[in-house]
Amino acid sequence: MSDPLPHSAFLDAAPDAIFVADAEGRIQFASRCGIAMLGRAEPAELIGRPIRDFVDREDVHLVLDMLRDARRGPTEMRIHPQGGTALWTEANAQRVAAEDGRASIVLVLRDVSRRKRAEEELLAAKAEAEEAAQRLVRSLRALEREAATDGLTGLWNRRQLEQVMAIELARCRRYTQVASLVLLDVDHFKELNDRFGHDAGDRALSAIGKAIARTARSTDTPCRWGGEEFAVLAPGVSAIAAVRLADRIREEVARTDCGVPAKVTLSAGVAQLDPTESMEQLLKRVDLALYQAKGAGRNRVDLAPGRGDSAEHRLFQLVWDPTYECGDPLIDGQHRQMFALGNAVMDEAMSGAPREVIRSRLAALLAHTVSHFADEEQLLERVGFSGRSQHMALHRALVDEAVRLDGLIEGGRVGVQELLNFLVVRVVHDHLLGADVAFFPTVEASSSPDVGRKAGPSAGPS
């Protein structure tokens, strides 16, 4: 058989494996390196065999494409030598004319197995390094959480809350936003520890932490402040709303089984953030409010006084809006007067007015409220409000509670702050917001078409 390619002796000396195939892909020539690559001893073992027989099954399409295109750049494919492991090769193809004039395809294969192994090892090392880096990040995050979390309750610790408070104070200063801080303390905790043991005390603190977490909003930041003290930072919340939040927490803890054979209660102080104050000043005010709640009998919420001595420094005010009107001129006028009386008594309290002056303001607010309730009940009867009986019962309950608190003040058992919080928050604000709005549509339907209301009342920062 004639030599299919001139200078075959020269090709035998090439360091790469060289094959010459006919148009059907049958081997016509194999260089010495090619014979060795395929694990053969003699050219006769290869001549006439399709070259695809030696290519990995998954790569056969690659060699067929090279034979068809006759000219193709580097292509990586796997070759299976006889009695050996697969080799990675880099293949190039070129069409040439043999001496007899027939077209042939020259395939040049370079063994790149070592390079491929190095690439695979490099990829494996990279993947391992990335996984190690991810494990390190997870470990660091876990350490950060551990450093920021109280181990007993699972809440944030004081250090973490102080960082959040610094950010919130800066935000309030920059954007004129409101936020409030609630500081809570477990009543008689030392006695509980002494009586039932430290393990019982820990169980109680853990249960209290869970009660606070499930009562706070998702946007709030509850934490264990230290010992038996807890705190909740409530962004976007005025003092009046924060008092309600603190009361909900207090009531939730009172209902909670804290793992000790005794009722567990909380006292709380509330302060709205003042953009002009430092964190230390804020903490001093809320701590003072907590101290007042403790001194006034415990299991209660007290509101911190403002930083200034004048009304312009008051923490909050009830803000009236015409959209709060139900459509009856008498009732709407009385509601506006209740807002004005509520703001007046808060001004007195925040400015440090004598106790008797505040009590007289509260008495005026209570007297106006009783008169208003009577007028409101007549209106509900006149317009045929279906919930009139329940509304009247609610009026009686509110008045009875106000009278009870006033009697406790008289006996020195609670401070005037308790009655102030009740009348301003529960009666003036919450009652109008939560109960009175129910009869607004009935009044609207009985009035002229252009009289109505759009929303319930709210309290806003001054």
Question: Which positions are catalytic?
Answer: 228
The whole-angstrom separation of Cα 393 and Cα 378 is 14
Residue pair 456/433 in contact by the 8 Å Cβ criterion? yes
Contact, 352 vs 309, CB < 8 A? yes
Phi-psi region of 308 (alpha: psi -120 to 50; beta: other; left: phi over 0): beta
Token code pair at residue 241? 């709303």
Q: For residue 248, what are its two tokens? A: 């909900």
DSSP 263-320: ---EEEEEEE--TTS-HHHHHHHHHHHHHHHHHTTSSSEEEPPPSSSSGGG-SEEEE-
CA–CA–CA angle 8, 10, 14 (5° rounding) = 110
* Partners of 316 in the β-ladder: 461
**Whole-angstrom Cα distance, residue 280 to residue 459?**
26
Eight-class DSSP state of 220: -
Q: Which residue has the tokens 């190095």?
A: 118
* Tokens describing residue 264: 């567990």
Give me 79's structure tokens. 């070759």
